[in-house]
Amino acid sequence: MSVLVNKNSRVIVQGFTGQEGTFHATQMIEYGTNVVGGVTPGKGGQMHLERPVFNTVEDAVQKANADVSIIFVPPAFAADAILEAADAGIKVIVCITEGIPTRDMIKVNEFLKDRDCRLIGPNCPGVITPGEAKVGIMPGFVFNAGTVGIVSKSGTLTYEAADQVCRTGLGISSAIGIGGDPIIGTTTKEAVELFMNDPQTKGIVMIGEIGGGMEAEAARWIKEHGTKPVVGFIAGQTAPPGRRMGHAGAIVGGSEDTAIAKMKIMRECGIQVAESPAVIGEMMAKALKK
């Protein structure tokens, strides 16, 4: 089992022939990801990185049986790229693009409510199932295969958590970087649910940050439905009130948005909270031995 992507995923790259798309598609192919082609309007029929280029996502679905898409499209056009992928029947859409207007994402989320697909991101590092598929921009060498699932708002903390877990001799089942924008596709709770329902995943690392209520929502769901140990960490513990730290969604707007408040809620819901990312791995190792 794996979460969202695996060796059988048929991946296309939207924005395939652009600089970012080319660079990261090359990395994904070298990792072993089953990249079956890409989409660049007007360049259909060409070959790029020894893969076919299609004019539309619909063409890629019909001709290459694509079921996963990763998007490297400029912010002004990224929302349309998500809509195109969803409309064409892509099941997992990973949007790396940063800076998509919030108004555009409101329209996207409304559109996706009636579609049988899952959006990861935007403004995220993507998804990886170690040894099978890397659909994103994360450094694949950090991730060893194993039984710990990672859900994170932060890209760099995803890599740090994976490294800490792997240093203990454990490994990663899959890691999902959900993104740090105010409006994203898959929430922390939804990602945690995926791991709770995955037989291969034995423990979950949940990394959040100041701003928004997703961590509190996930913690309360875990309290009611959780069946596996969860280690949590909240970034931004020293952030002053009202200060946005890094991500567009990382701004404290309410009493539950601070790091201290989130950590308190997580502890009350049975989550083991790490004060520093440096202890995430050892805390998970101890939790899994119980």
Helix 75-88 and helix 57-64, axial crossing angle in degrees, nearest 10: 40
**Separation between Cα atoms, residue 72 and residue 250, nearest integer Å:** 23
- Write down the catalytic residue from 24, 48, 225, 247: 247
**Separation between Cα atoms, residue 221 and residue 219, nearest integer Å:** 5
Helical ranges in 171-212 per DSSP H: 188-196
DSSP-derived 3-state class of residue 209: strand
Confirm whether 247 is a catalytic residue: yes
Number of H helices, E strands in the chain: 9, 14
Cα–Cα distances in angstroms (integers) from residue 201 to residues 13, 68, 133, 216, in the given order: 28, 22, 17, 22
**Separation between Cα atoms, residue 69 and residue 20, nearest integer Å:** 15
Just list the catalytic residues: 247
